[in-house]
């Protein structure tokens, strides 16, 4: 067999390996042994008495295998190949049959022309890892790689002959380690390669929105087993990632052209690119003028939506959104995520903040991501950061799918523990009970989210404003701004049109909500002045939510508890449910109330518990500090109407309420102090004496009360003012009598009161005119938007 030649030139070219890495060899089309035997192409192979077998067609990429006993063919010294690549492919095919992986180890070049004249292929476990102290001593290795090299001596050496053929000059068969069984050989690096048909199938399924795990399941079913697929899920994931990157390379220029055109059309359009637009580009961010204006009105709470980063989507973009005065999602800008490092997110947030005039939000909501969390801590140190609870719930269904299937009650118990607990102690107790009941105390993912509970469990977040109307239900504002427009198959060329359609649709919905608020009178359900006041201030949707709370007070009772002279604590509970009480602390003089449910702090609307206390204390209208402008009809108005009540009647009610509550608060001190019969008699005599003085006192006593405060004191008591007539009185040197003096004071007092009433009327009229102007501006804006929409529909 010394002169036998094995032709194994299958034309692999340079596609088998990774650039710049000689540690391993990749085969273009690895095929399982059984498939090779059954291949109809075997008829093209030839076998003769001389032992010459042809293993290929010179570049066709088709693989042929010897028949019969030649299946067990082993390398031997003197074996010849048509090329170096043929020798490499043969040794790798032999390695696949035996159960080990190969790589290129060393080579020798010709001194004459620099061409390679000798090559050694070795077992991948040959040699030992080179621990370069210079590379590792100055840096910490976070994830050390597994030791794979154990000094195996198995190898194949080939030399090039003068004839141009390559001959085996050395072969070591023995290994110093266990070989891999046939059902695991596909996991070895040199035998993992995605074939052409597999690439086509992956491309198709990826375009349909499937992720790597589901695609691998489809491939395993298609090929009849994981060993016949020829690669792993990691390879599939990497291939899909490279696919996305190749697609992005062409899309980036399209994105930049679009943004440049938008800025050319409107100088207030903002966009920025991380790095050099023409060289290595990082993340991209943009915000149109309307988004920047919306942030000035509703930028107190922000959501950074990274839903589209997942493999399900082909667009790595993330919108910044908020909530407008109708409870609808509103856009604050968009980002295109090319680089997702911590430094890139820091740049992204800083740049977006600059576009928003440097105004930090009160709160921000993001996905549960450690990199994003670290960037937010650096850029928004004073902003309350929350992880999206609904994303965590969705992840829970994936991570605990076995628990959901085994225990149908787990989902309801988990929801109850997170959403329906009223205090931190109650949540902690409920959580421990939950993990013990379902044996999840050692579940790694569940422990991770529990350690981050202060950033997603509602009971820890109620003291911060997030503009949510309900803790237990997901509001419209938490849904993605682009839901219904961007889906799994959307690419960037389609995105621009869909992006603009989403903007138009959201704007149209806001205009419609403005129109309904301005032109439909809300149905009042109570005779309460507070309900009427709210119906005139809030937008339609927000008023309906407030109305729910106001009507809900009818089933609640408020019982007075502790009173320290300044703060009164009330216990508020549903009728017959005293065990489930809420506690409201009321400062009567300042009209400030706080509830243990913290609904106002969380949503910006008063809860039914505070409103129940207002009812029993005769607070007839909403104090101005409980009316957030961002929820009112005039949220986008520059006129601060809420600083002064636009209704004189409201002023009267507020002043009356304050006086009533102050007097009643002082009177209760007499009641609380009359513990004995002696103190009772003293208190009763004092009250009777006070009642006589009140009955004989003038109705106004020269004082003008506005919102419960004394504006002036022009007459009365020991502070009586004496006027001298002087020459201008026309009564040279003669003084007015005491009766004339009193008459004059009364006349001046009446004139002043009349002037004050006129001022109040003028002020009310002026504010009414300003309000009418704002309403008219809003109606004109609605008409303009309707005309624009009609023109676009016509085109």
What pLDDT does residue 254 have?
Answer: 80
Higher pLDDT, 651 or 375: 375
Q: Do the beta carbons of residue 148 and residue 117 sit within 8 Å?
A: no
Q: Are strands 301-304 and 363-366 parallel, antiparallel or unpaired?
A: parallel
Best CA proximity match to 87, nearest among 188, 165, 176: 165
Q: Find the helix packing angle between 492-519 and 233-265, rounded to 10°.
A: 60
The residues facing 159 across adjacent strands are 118, 167
* Of 373, 369, 368, 370, nearest in space to 383 by CA: 373
How many Cα atoms occupy the beta-carbon half-sphere of 536 within 13 Å?
Answer: 15
Question: Distance between terminal CA atoms of the chain?
Answer: 82
The structure tokens listed for 608 are 């039914």
Q: Residues 437-450, buried b or exposed e (16+ Cβ, 10 A)?
A: ebebeebeebeebe
pLDDT higher at 669 or 467: 467
- pLDDT for residue 246 is more than 90: no
Q: 288, 285, 290: which is closest to 304 by C-alpha?
A: 285
Average pLDDT score, the chain = 77
- Return all residues near 349 (Cβ < 8 A) that are at least 6 apart: 375, 376, 379, 380
The beta-strand segments (E) located in 437-491 are none
Distance CA 435, CA 414 (A): 9
CA distance 268 to 290: 9
By DSSP bridging, strand 155-160 and strand 705-706 are: unpaired
Q: Residue 123 burial (CB < 10 Å; 0-12/13-18/19+)?
A: buried
pLDDT score at 723: 35
What's the pLDDT at 510?
A: 93
Beta-carbon contacts of 34 under 8 Å, excluding residues fewer than 6 positions away, are none
The burial of 329, by beta-carbon neighbours within 10 Å (0-12 exposed, 13-18 middle, 19 or more buried), is given as buried
Query: Residues near 15 by Cβ (< 8 Å), separated by ≥ 6?
Result: 26, 28
Tokens of 381: 């140190």
pLDDT tens track for 560-589: 988 887 899 999 999 888 888 999 999 888
Residue 5 DSSP one-character state: B
Beta bridge partners of 167: 80, 159
User: Can you give the pLDDT at residue 269?
Assistant: 94
65: its two tokens: 């295998």
**In this structure, what DSSP letter does residue 452 have?**
T
Q: Are strands 6-7 and 53-54 parallel, antiparallel or unpaired?
A: parallel
pLDDT greater than 90 at residue 74: no
Strand 155-160 versus strand 166-172 pairing type = antiparallel
Lowest mean pLDDT among 92-96, 135-139, 712-716: 712-716
Radius of gyration of the chain from its Cα atoms, rounded to whole angstroms: 41
Across 168-182, 350-364, 382-396, least confident range:
168-182
For 461-516, what is each residue's pLDDT tens digit?
999 999 987 765 554 445 578 877 877 667 777 788 888 999 999 999 999 999 99
Range from 590-604, 629-643, 658-672 carrying the lowest mean pLDDT: 658-672
pLDDT digits (tens, 9 = 90+) for 338-359: 878 899 999 999 999 999 999 9
pTM of the entire predicted model: 0.60
Residue ranges of the domains in the chain? Answer: 79-128+147-191, 192-265, 267-505, 521-631
Contact in structure between 329 and 268 (CB atoms under 8 Å): no
Q: What is the distance between the alpha carbons of residues 364 and 466, in angstroms, rounded to a whole number?
A: 8
Supply the pLDDT for residue 124: 86
Residue 129 pLDDT: 74
Burial 485-504 (b: 16+ CB within 10 A, else e): bbebebebeebeebbeebbe
Note the pLDDT tens digit of each residue in 34-44. Answer: 333 233 223 33
Place of tokens 């309707």: 786
Q: For residue 114, what pLDDT is reported? A: 82
Q: What is the pLDDT of residue 332?
A: 96
> Could you tell me which residue, 686 or 735, shows the higher pLDDT?
686
CA 116/CA 136 separation, integer angstroms: 33
Is 60 exceeded by the pLDDT of residue 20?
no
Question: Comparing 222-231, 419-428, 458-467, 608-617, which segment has the lowest mean pLDDT?
Answer: 222-231
Report pLDDT for 656: 56
Highest mean pLDDT among 71-75, 152-156, 491-495: 152-156
- The reported pLDDT for the residue numbered 725 is 36
CA distance 249 to 390: 33
Q: What secondary structure does DSSP assign to 238-306, as a single string?
A: HHHHHHHHHHHHHHHHHHHHHHHHHHHH-TT-EEEEEE-TTSSEEEEEEE-HHHHHHHHHHTTEEEE--
Summarised one tens digit per residue, pLDDT across range 708-717 is 344 444 333 3
Closest CA to 537 of 431, 630, 460: 630
What per-residue confidence (pLDDT) applies to 474?
54
Mean pLDDT of 256-272: 90
């Amino acid at each position: 067999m010394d002169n036998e030649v094995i032709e194994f030139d299958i034309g692999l070219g340079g596609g088998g390996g990774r650039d710049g890495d000689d540690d391993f060899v990749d085969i273009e089309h690895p095929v399982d042994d059984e498939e090779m035997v059954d291949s109809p192409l075997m008829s093209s192979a030839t076998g003769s008495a001389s032992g010459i077998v042809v293993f290929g067609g010179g570049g066709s990429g088709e693989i042929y295998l010897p028949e019969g006993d030649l299946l067990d063919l082993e390398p031997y010294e003197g074996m010849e190949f048509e090329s170096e690549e043929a020798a490499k492919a043969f040794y790798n095919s032999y390695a696949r049959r035996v159960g080990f992986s190969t790589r290129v180890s060393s080579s020798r070049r010709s001194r004459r022309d620099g061409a390679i004249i000798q090559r050694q292929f070795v077992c991948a476990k040959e040699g030992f890892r080179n621990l370069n102290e210079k590379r590792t001593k100055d840096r910490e290795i976070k994830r050390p790689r597994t030791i794979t090299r154990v000094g195996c001596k198995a190898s194949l050496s080939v030399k090039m002959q003068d004839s141009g053929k390559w001959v085996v000059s050395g072969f070591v068969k023995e290994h110093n380690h266990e070989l891999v069984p046939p059902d695991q050989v596909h996991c070895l690096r040199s035998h993992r390669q995605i074939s052409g048909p597999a690439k086509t199938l992956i491309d198709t399924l990826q375009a349909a929105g499937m992720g790597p795990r589901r695609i691998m399941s489809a491939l395993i079913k298609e090929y009849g087993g994981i060993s016949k697929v020829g690669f792993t899920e990691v390879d599939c994931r990497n291939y899909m990632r490279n696919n996305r990157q190749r697609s992005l390379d062409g899309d980036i220029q399209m994105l930049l052209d679009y943004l440049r055109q938008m800025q050319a059309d409107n100088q207030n359009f903002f966009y920025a690119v991380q790095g050099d637009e023409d060289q290595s580009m990082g993340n991209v961010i943009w915000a149109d003028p309307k988004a920047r204006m919306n942030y000035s009105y509703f930028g107190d709470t922000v959501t950074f939506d990274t839903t589209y980063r997942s493999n399900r989507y082909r667009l790595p973009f993330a919108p910044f959104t908020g909530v407008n005065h109708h409870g609808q999602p509103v856009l604050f800008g968009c980002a295109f995520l090319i680089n997702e490092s911590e430094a890139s997110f820091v740049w992204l947030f800083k740049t977006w903040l600059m576009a928003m005039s440097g105004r930090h939000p009160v709160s921000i909501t993001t996905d549960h991501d450690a990199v994003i969390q670290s960037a937010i801590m650096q850029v928004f140190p004073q902003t309350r950061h929350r992880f999206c609870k609904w994303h965590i719930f969705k992840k829970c269904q994936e991570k605990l799918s076995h628990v959901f299937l085994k225990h149908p009650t787990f989902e309801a118990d988990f929801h109850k523990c997170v959403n329906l607990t009223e205090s931190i102690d109650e949540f902690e107790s409920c959580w421990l009970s939950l993990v013990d009941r379902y044996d999840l105390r050692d579940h790694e993912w569940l422990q991770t989210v529990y350690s981050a509970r202060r950033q997603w469990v509602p009971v820890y977040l109620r003291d911060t404003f997030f503009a949510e109307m309900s803790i237990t239900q997901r509001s419209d504002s938490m849904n993605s701004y682009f839901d219904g427009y961007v889906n799994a198959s959307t690419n960037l060329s389609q995105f621009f049109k869909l992006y603009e359609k989403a903007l138009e649709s959201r704007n149209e919905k806001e205009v419609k909500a403005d129109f309904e608020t301005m032109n439909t009178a809300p149905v009042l359900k109570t005779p309460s002045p507070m309900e009427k006041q709210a119906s005139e201030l809030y937008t339609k949707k927000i008023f309906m939510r407030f109305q729910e709370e106001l009507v809900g007070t009818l089933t609640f009772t408020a019982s007075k508890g502790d009173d320290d002279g300044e703060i009164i604590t009330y216990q508020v509970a549903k009728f017959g449910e005293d065990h489930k009480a809420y506690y409201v602390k009321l400062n009567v003089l300042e009209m400030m109330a706080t509830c243990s449910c913290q609904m106002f702090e969380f949503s910006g609307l008063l809860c039914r518990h505070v409103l129940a206390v207002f009812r029993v204390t005769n607070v007839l209208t909403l104090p101005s500090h409980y009316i957030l402008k961002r929820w009112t009809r005039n949220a986008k108005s520059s006129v601060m109407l809420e600083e002064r009540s636009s209704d004189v009647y409201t002023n009267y009610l507020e002043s009356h309420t304050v006086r009533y509550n102050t007097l009643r608060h002082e009177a209760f001190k007499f009641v609380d102090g009359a513990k004995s019969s002696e103190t009772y008699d003293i208190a009763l005599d004092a009250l009777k004496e006070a009642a006589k003085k009140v009955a004989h006192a003038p109705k106004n006593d020269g004082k003008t009360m506005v919102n419960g405060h004394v504006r002036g004191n022009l007459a009365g008591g020991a502070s009586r003012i004496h006027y001298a007539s002087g020459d201008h009185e026309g009564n040279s040197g003669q003084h007015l009598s005491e009766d004339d003096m009193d008459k004059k004071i009364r006349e001046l007092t009446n004139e002043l009161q009349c002037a004050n009433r006129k001022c109040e009327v003028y002020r009310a009229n002026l504010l009414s005119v300003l309000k009418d102007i704002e309403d008219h501006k809003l109606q004109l804006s609605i008409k303009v938007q309707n005309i624009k929409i009609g023109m676009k529909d016509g085109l």
